[in-house]
Amino acid sequence: MKSRIYRKGKVTEVDFPLEQLGKVAKDRNAVYWLDIVEPTPDELHHLSETLDLHELAVEDAFKGMQRPKIDHYDSHLFINLYHATYNEKAKELNTVEMSVFVTKRGLITIRSTGEFDMTAVTKRWDESAELSDGGVDYLLWGLLDVVVDSYFDVIQELDMELEELESMMFEVQRNNRMIQQRSYSLRKALVLLRRVAIPMREVLNPLVRRETKFLGEHMAPYFQDVYDHIMRVGDWTDSLRDLVTTLLETNLTIQGNQMNLIMKKVTSWAAIIAVPTAITGFYGQNLPYPGFDTQDGFITSTALIVVISGILYWVFKRRDWL
């Protein structure tokens, strides 16, 4: 468990125990942050009793598996969101769910797993210490900014994956199986990213419109900036998803063209082989014909095979059928 207490815009205490939360929450000069990983029912019950949290919000935080959303209650806001990272080696998107309680002077983050390192958030707060007078608005902004920036990092990596996939598709020696696997993995990652990123518009919209009593005017432009970023992520995600769909269709077209080319080659060789087959079949009927049972007949048939086959090969090659 991690925690911080801010007084007059400065960190005055870190890692205070959960038992002191009631005392800290009553301090009108303090703004605090509390982070709990994999909370127990007793810890959530203590939070609920101390901060007067709504039972539905506490239940959502405990069970998890919620969609990104913001719920308004009399004593607090409840926000559910996901931090995202892309595993380039495994070609898959990983997400970490986080529940956030926002009170007038406190920010409580509850995570289902410790895979997401909150150091990035505390670093963002420390780098923007001049905004710390914003109180809990400042803490919430830093958290949301880091989460949305994670979407930007992921979408940039997926964009690079798409460029590599395009290069693989138009190589002379194509690995169709690899192309299909990476196309599917890329599309799956984009669908999952869209599922966690697009609903963040609904989370940020009330904050930008200042529809909550828990946030003031001071940080409004910064929430607007985060909202603009999530809008860009949404547009970028949709465009990449359309490109992947186009890429899959193009891949099918290329495979179809390759199949047609192969069929033309097979048909051309079949036509070439049919000529000697027909001639030798005709001469093998044991019927009298010019040159029958003579050396001249054998030379004539062989010459016909070579000449006509050569002419067909030249015609097919000129038409790019071979």
Beta-bridge partners for 274: none
- Does pLDDT of 286 surpass 70? no
Beta-bridge partners for 107: 33, 102
| Tokens (6 digits) for 70 | 């913001």
> Using N-to-C axis directions, what is the helix angle for 176-197 and 220-283, rounded to 10°?
160
Task: Delimit the domains of the chain by residue range.
Answer: 2-255, 264-318
User: Is the domain defined by 2-255 classed in CATH 3.30.460.20?
Assistant: yes
Give which of 114, 204, 102, 142 is closest to 11, Cα–Cα: 142
- Does pLDDT of 186 surpass 60? yes
Q: Which residue has the higher pLDDT, 229 or 318?
A: 229
Give which of 93, 67, 92, 62 is closest to 80, Cα–Cα: 67
DSSP-assigned letter for residue 53: -
Q: For residue 272, which amino acid is it? A: I
Q: For residue 161, which amino acid is it? A: E
The number of CA neighbours under 13 Å toward the Cβ of 214 is 24
For the stretch 242-256, pLDDT in tens is 888 888 888 777 777
Helix (H, G, I), strand (E, B) or coil at 4: strand
Query: What's the distance, CA 159 to chain centroid?
Result: 9
For the stretch 258-280, pLDDT in tens is 777 778 877 887 888 888 777 77
Contact (CB, 8 A) for 59 and 47 = no
| Mean pLDDT of all residues belonging to the chain | 86
For the stretch 80-100, pLDDT in tens is 999 999 998 888 999 999 999
> How far apart (Å, rounded) are the C-alpha atoms in residues 172 and 94?
34
Between β-strands 106-111 and 30-37, what pairing exists: parallel, antiparallel or unpaired?
parallel
pLDDT number for residue 69: 93
